[in-house]
């Protein structure tokens, strides 16, 4: 998938994401150290961690996302090394105290084998006692909430029509999104994006984490300290390497 045009409007679409809460969640359990931000996107979370004092490394599969992240770091006066890597292949990256996979990025992996390989790769990249933090869509969100589409955003600068259908695999979805990006006062550019996501049960993620050599420290829901319920939409995991 090419993220060229999508990268250019990504920050506008994500402006309501509570990144500060994500940082607080991580910092409440791991206050400092070398941090690897996987699937970093345009680098918003990486910047926040760096400004808090973490020694941050950022990676993403998209060259376009990384270009925008590097521009962000440069403008902020931060030295954050970046790598173009898939989450399930972190060869050469080691010695981290923290790894983050934020904002349902793990759900873009298409198979359970890729998720398991990602956990194995993160385990190798972490120091003993290091922690992995990530969040995923719940099965409830994928199977029910997303089926309430289409979703519409009508904004002055960026608007979209978002239609979701069930994917070929269990608990998977295909998002077809039409964007309308303002170029001039009465002129908008339209482009199309297709995104595929898949999730698994919390117990399945837990089994894979334990098999990779982690102990699970917490499983919570929806940017809170509450345990997941049947109606939870986003599940958060904190796991420690042993």
**How high is the pLDDT of residue 153?**
76
Q: What does the pLDDT read at residue 2?
A: 42
Q: What is the mean pLDDT of residues 122-144?
A: 98
4-138+200-241 belongs to which homologous superfamily? Vaccinia Virus protein VP39 (3.40.50.150)
Least confidently predicted of 4-8, 62-66, 90-94: 4-8
Least confident of 66-70, 150-154, 195-199, 238-242: 150-154
Instruction: State the pLDDT at residue 199.
Output: 98
Q: Average pLDDT, stretch 216-241?
A: 97
Model confidence band, residue 10 (pLDDT cutoffs 50, 70, 90): low
Mean pLDDT (the chain, rounded):
92
Q: What confidence score (pLDDT) does residue 100 get?
A: 98
236: alpha, beta or left? (left if phi > 0; alpha if psi -120 to 50): beta
Percentage of the residues of the chain whose pLDDT score is greater than 90:
78
Supply the pLDDT for residue 180: 83
What is the mean predicted confidence (pLDDT) over 96-120? 97
Domain ranges of the chain: 4-138+200-241, 141-198
pLDDT at 182: 76
Average pLDDT over residues 9-37: 86
Q: Is the CATH number of domain 141-198 2.20.25.110? A: yes
pTM: 0.91
Q: Provide the CA 165 distance to its chain's centre, in angstroms.
A: 21
54-to-36, 80, 104, 207 alpha-carbon distances in Å = 10, 10, 22, 29
Structure tokens at 210: 């334990």
Place of tokens 């042993």: 242
Confidence of residue 49 (pLDDT cuts 50, 70, 90): very high
Q: Angle at Cα 200 formed by Cα 24 and Cα 59, nearest 5°?
A: 50
How far, rounded to the nearest angstrom, does the alpha carbon of residue 74 sit from its chain's CA centroid? 22
């Amino acid at each position: 998938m090419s993220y060229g045009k999508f990268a250019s409007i990504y920050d506008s679409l994500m402006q309501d994401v509570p990144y500060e809460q994500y940082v607080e969640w991580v910092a409440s359990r791991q206050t400092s150290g070398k941090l690897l931000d996987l699937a970093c996107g345009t680098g918003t979370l990486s910047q926040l961690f760096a400004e808090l004092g973490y020694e941050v490394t950022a990676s993403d599969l998209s060259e376009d996302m990384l270009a925008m992240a590097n521009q962000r770091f440069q403008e902020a006066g931060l030295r954050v090394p970046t790598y173009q890597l898939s989450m399930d292949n972190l060869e050469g990256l080691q010695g981290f105290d923290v790894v983050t996979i934020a904002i349902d990025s793990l759900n873009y992996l298409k198979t359970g084998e890729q998720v398991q390989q990602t956990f194995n790769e993160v385990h190798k990249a972490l120091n003993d006692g290091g922690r992995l933090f990530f969040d995923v869509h719940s099965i409830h969100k994928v199977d029910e909430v997303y089926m309430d589409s289409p979703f519409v955003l009508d904004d002055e600068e960026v608007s979209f029509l978002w239609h979701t259908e069930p994917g070929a695999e269990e608990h998977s979805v295909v998002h077809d999104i039409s964007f309308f990006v303002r170029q001039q006062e009465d002129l908008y550019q339209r482009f199309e994006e297709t995104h595929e996501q898949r999730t698994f049960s919390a117990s399945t993620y837990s089994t894979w984490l334990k098999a990779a050599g982690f102990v699970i420290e917490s499983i919570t829901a929806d940017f809170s300290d509450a345990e997941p319920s049947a109606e939870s939409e986003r599940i958060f995991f904190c796991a420690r390497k042993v």
